[in-house]
């Protein structure tokens, strides 16, 4: 490929992997480039890779790698980096999902609303997400009835376990459970995670919690797609870690947790991990941010949840402690040659503890470790083991026990979760360790990388298959495309009889073999293999060229780690344990194993068999891939290490998939995209041509390109061809830019000349204007001086006149004021004297009157006390002589007489009060006369004589007052004596009152006993046999309607038996009396139920059923009842109708009456109970209803029914409008503008959409309105319903912009805007009773009112996703997006939820008070009873006595 100056390229750099650069000079094969760090370097042309010139447009990233213009390593790397900077952690590569660990919480990506968005959506339609992959696997399983598998891979810390949890969470959401269970499958599997992590995870060099085993979670489904069970399969446990670890790694977590368990550790004689041989090979004992003791208790809680009993838990921890003690047993040479013994007392202590914890014989344990038996025909031969063999025997025992314990735990977890053996399909989620390449790589890395090679081969086959399927769907020739395979590496490792594993097993079978002999034989057999290399500085190390790169392996410990003997002594020892769990781990061995003490078992061969079983499982399913990537090694957010990510992309096979794509047609563009990008190369073909396929073919033929394929919808180009097209396009654009620049410079020069000419003309005009203005100013100043002189003279004369006039007025006002003030002071003094005199006289008279009244009251009290004592004495004398009944009668008469006397006393007091009032009036009249006399005294001289007479009168009154005061004093003394006597009488009255209460209580008991006796006598009387007498009972007594008003009782109360006995004739039987209210209630219930169930329709817009029910309840006085069950029957009937008619299958699928009838009943009765003041018509004939508790409860239940109806109608509308709205979210291709074609003339507004999708929504709304009006739904409900429906439309459109990048474009915005204009027109055409039209907002209002309603994350999301697809521009600079990202990170750290999506409002937008105020009153007087109800007696009587009353 040829390079020219200004071309954008990628150049390789050690630290960053690849960096951006621009060609500045080309000399032969040497190319001088300027990097983004402003460094100028020289590289060969073969070392450069082309970079898309338009990559900064449209956001600078794509959500699918296959959409990249140049599909190469740097393009993939930097696309991930840009998306990661925007917190877009998911990216597709075809059907493969790449997940970059954000190392921070992103709860908005994983809530239930997000799962609902991806439910049933085709893969790739929305933004990349792990839910999309999970949904694709679930839909494929349901539609094809074939099992699926999701392979989650990546290195330690990349987020594989978390991704697995999210996949199971989504599958649980869409699948649910077929049977009722308290916990979901996801919860049960996740609850087992702490247990599996404790026993299967360990710290490695790169991750503190690395899974050292493969986990395959198999979620099982029934025929209906519901989850029916689950199972966990484990593979490839790294059992050698139990006995051998390297610094700074750790052993399995469970050992450290047990050592930190406190009392449990003391029970098992455990201490710090540094004191145990299996743990102190590494100096790392603690993990940052993790407490081993807390983790220990979490593990125990997980065991409780899984269902492991306390005894089994103790046995598990005893086994772990025994393994640790077993590792501390050391050996020393024995007395015999090649023999061994326990080294010292410390080792002996650990041996005893291990035997105690295993619950086996210590001597047998010593014999098992230090010797081995060989079974021959002559008998068993006991052979002693040297120290190294005994240590190896000890380690083999520890590994075997731990591996079997781990398998036992997995088996119990599966029992707890519950498997479905009858399940035909399932979805498996594989979480396995990724490719590993360290500084020192041993046998574990060899096995792990071998497993990843097998998985990579499966991955390559899947990718190639997907490529083939796409080629087939596009109908292009693909037969010559080469398949990139790694079978040669797999043959090198596993092929028989000569393979690395086979050679390793052969070396392990010979006791004298060493790693040197193994390496020598391996190099001799594979000397010519291109995948195997020998290192320069070591004779035993070898290098394998894996798909992810070369890895150097050290063979020092290969043989030891591959040997795994099945020792019969070990099985015999532990099967004899007294602990059921330990003995259960080691069952009986087959006969061939018993013949030899040591049965060799190859770890690598067993690993290969498990891997083969796993591959068979995966091959039987349809795979889906998720590649997890760790962006940095320090586990920090917003940190992207290029070199590390590039290495993971190689290890994860992503770049291998890229290479597979490069082998075929890596560049694929739809015809529309290709024409949009390269249409500028052939402008002559663009005029008038609308066949995009023909345009594409014409462009490629003009450019003289070969080896391209034209598919059904896409054009396929070979590698490098897109670069040629880009170069030609760049040349055309550069020429166009030069032409535009020349035209622009001409325009600027002419514009400057025109400005200069206009400036000179303006200067000349300004000078002439200055001269004219100067002459004009002189003339105007002369005329102004004359006018000023005139007005000054006028002002002086006017001011002199005003001063004289003001002085005259001031003098006159002062004189008049002096005269008026003097006259006013005289009058005020006279009035003050009159007021003082009147108040003094009034006070004297009031005091005198009060004294008279007090004396009168005291005298009356004394007299009443005397009468009361006399009567009391008489009552006491009569109390002992008469019987109790006569005594009660007399006391009643006495009380009546006392009441009469009290009434007489009250009447006397009232008459005295009237006399006092008369005297008061006379006194007031005399005071008025005195006041008139005093007034006349001021005016005439004769008043003085009258004044003297009044003085004499006052003196006589004062004398009289003194005499009255003396009488009052004597009356007070008599009153004190009377009060003492009254207190004595009061005490006696209290005693009599107590006696009276006791007698009344006895009387009540006697009445109750009498009532019981009368009931018994009635039941025992022969009248009970007269059953025929009930037929003669009049019909009018069958219901409470026929009773008189004074005795009327509603038929829903249960009156006492005495009342029935008093009202019914003696000829009626008790059974009839018991059956009558029940039959009456059943008849009334049947009337109401028929009104609710039958389609009675409307009359003049009024619901007939509601009016009839209300009139019946009102006439039966049900609202005033203290106890009644009729309201419960009405509510139950309404709910039954709702269950039948308001299904979730759509609004218009139900009959109109069923959607309107119950609603009419509910809102009208609720309105009547809540607002009785809204009665119409003859309001004077109907008082307000005194509603009791059942009626109030009935009102609340009806309100709940109305809310339920509203909620179901709203939900049904949302379900029906969602499919219509989903096709309106994205503009069809036909409505998008294409560059190069004629655009619409300026001044033309937004055209309506070219399809009828939005018209379907308008038609739906019209049908909704007609349905609501046909059922007479009040405008209040219509307004609330339409408001929430439009809110739902708003939420769906807004969320689609935030979830789908192809919707967040300029042309799609125009399309949605045109559709919204149709809805706006529909709103404006609707009447006011439906919805209120909002006024237009100005630009300033939008800035101040609209933007604050959006959160920082929402604005950032829109800015990062928006691009102008019409003109192919980004619209928002990267600097603004970066600054906004910093604001988002700052503001969202302390938020509980940082979701950028809008939530749907599911609340009920009205209350009971709103119903009462909004629903109009209805007059039910003209609503007649239907003919179907006239045969009921109650209805006949109700129609006969019906008095139309408004409601």
In sequence order, which residues have a C-beta less than 8 Å from that of residue 1090 and are 6 or more positions away?
A: 1428, 1429
Residues paired with 219 in a beta bridge: 230, 427
* SS3 state of residue 602: strand
Residue 380 annotated as part of some ligand binding site: no
Residues paired with 545 in a beta bridge: 550
Tokens of 696: 């594409």
Q: How far apart are CA 78 and CA 62, in angstroms?
A: 11
Which strand (E) or helix (H) includes residue 97? strand 96-100
Residue 161 annotated as part of some ligand binding site: yes
Helices (H) and strands (E) in the chain, counts: 44, 28
Q: At what angle do helices 884-939 and 721-879 cross, to 10 degrees?
A: 100
Q: From residue 784, give the alpha-carbon distance in Å to each of 560, 768, 792.
A: 122, 25, 12
Residue 341 annotated as part of some ligand binding site: no
Is there a contact between 643 and 629 (Cβ–Cβ < 8 Å)? no
Tokens of 316: 């598990």
Q: At what angle do helices 1152-1170 and 1253-1270 cross, to 10 degrees?
A: 60
Q: In three state form, how does the secondary structure of 422-434 look?
A: CCCEEEEEEECCC
* SS3 state of residue 13: strand
Q: How far apart are CA 406 and CA 200, in angstroms?
A: 8
In sequence order, which residues have a C-beta less than 8 Å from that of residue 137 and are 6 or more positions away?
A: 148, 149, 150, 427, 622, 624
Which strand (E) or helix (H) includes residue 218? strand 214-221
Q: String of b and e for 849-877 (b: at least 16 CB within 10 Å)? A: eebbeebbebeeebebbeebeeebeeeee
User: Whose CA is closest to 52, among 782, 726, 962, 758?
Assistant: 726
Active site residues: 156-157, 161, 207, 210-211, 434, 436
Tokens of 450: 């071998």
Residue 971 annotated as part of some ligand binding site: no
Residue 538 annotated as part of some ligand binding site: no
Residue 1093 annotated as part of some ligand binding site: no
- Residue 33 φ/ψ, nearest 5 degrees: -125, 155
The dihedral built from the CA positions of residue 309, 313, 315 and 319, taken in this order, carries a sign that is: positive
Residue 160 annotated as part of some ligand binding site: yes
In sequence order, which residues have a C-beta less than 8 Å from that of residue 1154 and are 6 or more positions away?
A: 1137, 1140, 1141, 1142
Residue 1329 annotated as part of some ligand binding site: no
Q: How far apart are CA 939 and CA 932, in angstroms?
A: 11
Q: Where do the H-state alpha helices sit in 268-344? A: 292-306, 310-327
What's the half-sphere exposure (Cβ side, CA atoms, 13 Å) at 1047? 10
DSSP for 344-390?
Answer: SHHHHHHHHHHHHHHTS-HHHHHHHHHEEEEE-SS-EEEEE--HHHH
In sequence order, which residues have a C-beta less than 8 Å from that of residue 818 and are 6 or more positions away?
A: none
In sequence order, which residues have a C-beta less than 8 Å from that of residue 1000 and are 6 or more positions away?
A: none
Is residue 497 reached through a cis peptide bond, with omega within 30 degrees of 0 on the bond before it? Answer: yes
Is there a contact between 228 and 221 (Cβ–Cβ < 8 Å)? yes
Is there a contact between 622 and 140 (Cβ–Cβ < 8 Å)? yes
Tokens of 1421: 């007087």
Q: How far apart are CA 633 and CA 643, in angstroms?
A: 11
Tokens of 1138: 């709702």
DSSP conformational letter for 15: T
User: Other CB atoms closer than 10 Å to residue 1114's CB: what's the count?
Assistant: 17
Tokens of 1363: 């691009």
**Residues within the annotated binding site for ATP?**
154-161
């Amino acid at each position: 490929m040829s390079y020219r100056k200004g071309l954008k390229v990628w150049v390789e750099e050690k630290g960053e992997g690849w960096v951006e650069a621009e060609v500045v000079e080309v000399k032969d094969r040497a190319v001088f480039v300027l990097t983004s760090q402003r460094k100028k370097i020289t590289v060969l042309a073969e070392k450069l890779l082309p970079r898309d010139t338009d990559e900064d447009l449209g956001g600078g990233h794509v959500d699918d790698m296959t959409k990249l213009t140049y599909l190469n390593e740097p393009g993939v790397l930097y696309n991930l980096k840009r998306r990661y900077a925007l917190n877009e952690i998911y990216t597709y590569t075809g059907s493969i999902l790449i997940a970059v660990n954000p190392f921070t919480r992103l709860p908005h990506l994983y809530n239930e609303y997000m799962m609902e968005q991806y439910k049933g959506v085709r893969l790739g339609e929305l933004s990349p997400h792990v839910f999309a992959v999970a949904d694709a696997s679930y839909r494929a399983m349901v539609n094809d009835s074939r099992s699926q598998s999701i392979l989650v891979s990546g290195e330690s810390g990349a987020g594989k376990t978390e991704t697995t949890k999210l996949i199971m969470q989504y599958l649980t959401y869409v699948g649910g459970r077929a049977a009722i269970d308290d916990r979901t499958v996801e919860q049960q599997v996740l609850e087992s995670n702490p247990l599996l992590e404790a026993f299967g995870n360990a710290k490695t060099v790169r991750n503190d919690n690395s899974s050292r085993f493969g986990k395959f979670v198999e979620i099982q489904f029934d025929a209906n797609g519901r989850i029916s069970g689950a199972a966990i399969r484990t593979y490839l446990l790294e059992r050698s870690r139990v006995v051998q670890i390297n610094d700074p790694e750790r052993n399995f977590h469970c050992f450290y947790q047990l050592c930190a368990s406190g009392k449990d550790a003391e029970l098992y004689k455990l201490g710090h991990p540094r004191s145990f041989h299996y743990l102190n090979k590494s100096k790392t004992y603690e993990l940052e941010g993790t407490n081993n003791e807390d983790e220990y208790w979490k593990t125990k809680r997980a065991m409780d949840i899984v269902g492991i009993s306390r005894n089994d838990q103790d046995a598990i921890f005893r086994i772990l402690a025994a393994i640790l003690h077993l590792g501390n047993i050391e050996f020393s040479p024995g007395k015999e040659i090649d023999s061994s013994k326990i080294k010292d007392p410390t080792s002996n202590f650990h041996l005893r503890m291990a035997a105690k914890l295993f619950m086996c014989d210590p001597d047998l344990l010593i014999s098992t470790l230090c010797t081995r038996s060989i079974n021959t025909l002559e008998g068993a031969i006991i052979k002693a083991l040297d120290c190294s063999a005994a240590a190896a025997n000890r380690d083999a025992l520890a590994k075997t026990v731990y591996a079997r314990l781990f398998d036992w735990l997995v088996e119990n977890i599966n029992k707890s979760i519950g498997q479905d053996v009858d399940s035909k399909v399932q979805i498996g989620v594989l979480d396995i360790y990724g490719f590993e390449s360290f500084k020192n790589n041993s046998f574990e890395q060899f096995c792990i990388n071998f497993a990843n090679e097998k998985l990579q081969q499966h991955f390559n086959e899947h990718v190639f298959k997907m490529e083939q399927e796409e080629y087939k769907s596009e109908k292009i020739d693909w037969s010559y495309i080469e398949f990139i395979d790694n079978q040669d590496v797999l043959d090198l490792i596993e092929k028989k009889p000569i393979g690395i594993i086979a050679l390793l097993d052969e070396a392990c079978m010979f006791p004298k073999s060493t790693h040197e002999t193994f390496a020598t034989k391996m190099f001799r057999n594979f000397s010519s293999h291109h995948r195997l290399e020998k290192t320069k500085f070591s004779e035993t190390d070898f290098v394998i060229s894996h798909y992810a790169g070369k890895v150097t392996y050290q063979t020092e410990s290969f043989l030891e780690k591959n040997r795994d003997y099945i020792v019969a002594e070990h099985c015999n020892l532990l099967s004899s344990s007294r602990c059921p769990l330990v003995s259960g781990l080691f069952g009986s061995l087959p006969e061939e194993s018993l013949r030899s003490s040591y049965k060799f078992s190859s770890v690598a061969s067993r690993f290969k068999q498990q891997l083969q079983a796993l591959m068979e499982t995966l091959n039987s399913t349809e795979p889906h891939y998720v590649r997890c990537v760790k962006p940095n090694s320090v586990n920090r957010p917003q940190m992207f290490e290029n070199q590390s990510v590039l290495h993971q992309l190689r290890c994860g096979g992503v770049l291998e998939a890229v290479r597979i794509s490069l082998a075929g047609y890596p560049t694929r563009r739809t015809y529309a995209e290709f024409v949009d990008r390269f249409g500028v190369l052939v402008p002559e073909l663009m005029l008038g041509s609308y066949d995009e396929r023909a345009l594409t073919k014409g462009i490629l033929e003009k450019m003289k390109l070969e080896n391209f394929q034209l598919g059904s919808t896409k054009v396929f180009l070979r590698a490098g061809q897109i670069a040629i097209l880009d170069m030609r396009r760049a040349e055309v654009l550069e020429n166009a830019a030069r032409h535009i620049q020349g035209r622009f410079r001409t325009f600027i020069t002419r514009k400057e000349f025109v400005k200069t000419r206009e400036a000179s003309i303006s200067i000349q005009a300004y000078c002439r204007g200055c001269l004219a203005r100067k002459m004009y100013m002189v003339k105007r100043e002369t005329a102004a001086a004359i006018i000023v002189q005139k007005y000054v003279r006028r002002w002086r004369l006017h001011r002199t006149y005003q001063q004289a006039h003001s002085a005259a007025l001031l003098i006159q006002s002062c004189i008049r004021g002096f005269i008026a003030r003097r006259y006013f002071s005289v009058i005020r003094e006279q009035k003050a004297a009159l007021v003082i005199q009147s108040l003094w006289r009034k006070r004297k008279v009031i005091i005198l009157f009060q004294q008279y009244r007090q004396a009168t009251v005291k005298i009356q009290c004394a007299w009443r006390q005397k009468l009361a004592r006399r009567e009391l004495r008489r009552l006491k004398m009569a109390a002992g002589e008469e019987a109790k009944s006569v005594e009660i009668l007399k006391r009643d008469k006495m009380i009546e007489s006392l009441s009469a006397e009290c009434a007489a006393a009250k009447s006397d007091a009232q008459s005295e009060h009237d006399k006092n009032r008369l005297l008061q009036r006379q006194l007031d009249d005399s005071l008025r006369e005195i006041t008139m006399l005093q007034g006349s005294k001021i005016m005439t001289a004769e008043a003085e004589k009258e004044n003297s007479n009044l003085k004499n009168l006052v003196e006589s009154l004062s004398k009289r007052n003194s005499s009255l005061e003396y009488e009052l004093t004597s009356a007070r003394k008599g009153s004190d004596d009377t009060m003492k006597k009254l207190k004595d009488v009061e005490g006696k009255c209290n005693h009599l009152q107590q006696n009276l209460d006791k007698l009344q209580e006895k009387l009540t008991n006697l009445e109750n006993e009498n009532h019981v006796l009368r009931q018994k006598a009635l039941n025992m009387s022969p009248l009970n046999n007269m059953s025929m007498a009930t037929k003669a009972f009049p019909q009018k007594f069958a219901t409470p309607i026929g009773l008189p008003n004074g005795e009327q009782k509603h038929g829903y109360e249960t009156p006492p038996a005495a009342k029935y006995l008093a009202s019914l004739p003696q000829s009626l039987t008790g059974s009839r009396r018991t059956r009558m209210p029940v039959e009456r209630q059943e008849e009334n219930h049947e009337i109401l139920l028929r009104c609710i169930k039958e389609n009675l329709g409307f009359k003049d817009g009024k619901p007939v059923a509601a009016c009839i029910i209300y009139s019946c309840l009102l006439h039966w006085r049900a609202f005033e009842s203290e106890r009644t069950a009729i309201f419960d029957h009405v509510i139950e009937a309404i709910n039954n109708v709702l269950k039948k008619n308001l299904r979730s299958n759509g609004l218009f699928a139900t009959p109109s009456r069923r959607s309107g009838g119950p609603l009419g009943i509910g809102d009208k009765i609720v309105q009547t109970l809540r607002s009785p003041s809204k009665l119409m018509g003859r309001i004077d004939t109907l008082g307000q209803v005194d509603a009791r508790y059942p009626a109030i409860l009935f009102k609340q239940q009806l309100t709940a029914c109305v809310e339920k109806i509203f909620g179901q109608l709203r939900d049904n509308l949302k379900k029906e409008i969602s499919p219509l709205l989903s096709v309106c979210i994205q503009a069809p291709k036909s409505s998008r503008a294409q560059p190069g074609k004629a655009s619409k003339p300026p001044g033309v507004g937004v055209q309506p959409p070219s399809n009828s999708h939005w018209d379907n929504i308008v038609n739906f709304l019209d049908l909704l309105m007609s349905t609501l009006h046909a059922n007479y739904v009040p405008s209040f409900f219509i307004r609330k319903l339409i408001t929430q429906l439009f809110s739902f439309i708003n939420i769906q459109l807004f969320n689609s912009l935030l979830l789908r990048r192809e919707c967040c474009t300029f042309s799609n915005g125009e399309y949605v805007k045109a559709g919204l204009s149709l809805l706006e027109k529909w709103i404006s055409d609707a009447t006011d009773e439906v919805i209120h039209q909002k006024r237009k907002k100005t630009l300033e209002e939008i800035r101040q009112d609209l933007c604050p309603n959006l959160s920082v994350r929402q604005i950032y999301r829109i800015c990062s996703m928006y691009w102008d697809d019409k003109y192919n521009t980004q619209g928002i600079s990267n600097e603004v997006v970066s600054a906004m990202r910093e604001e988002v990170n700052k503001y969202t750290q302390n938020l509980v939820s940082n979701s950028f999506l809008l939530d749907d409002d599911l609340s009920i937008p009205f209350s009971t008070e709103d119903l009462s105020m909004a629903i109009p009153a209805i007059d039910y007087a003209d609503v007649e009873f239907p003919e179907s109800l006239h045969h009921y007696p109650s209805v006949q009587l109700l129609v006969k006595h019906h008095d139309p009353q408004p409601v």
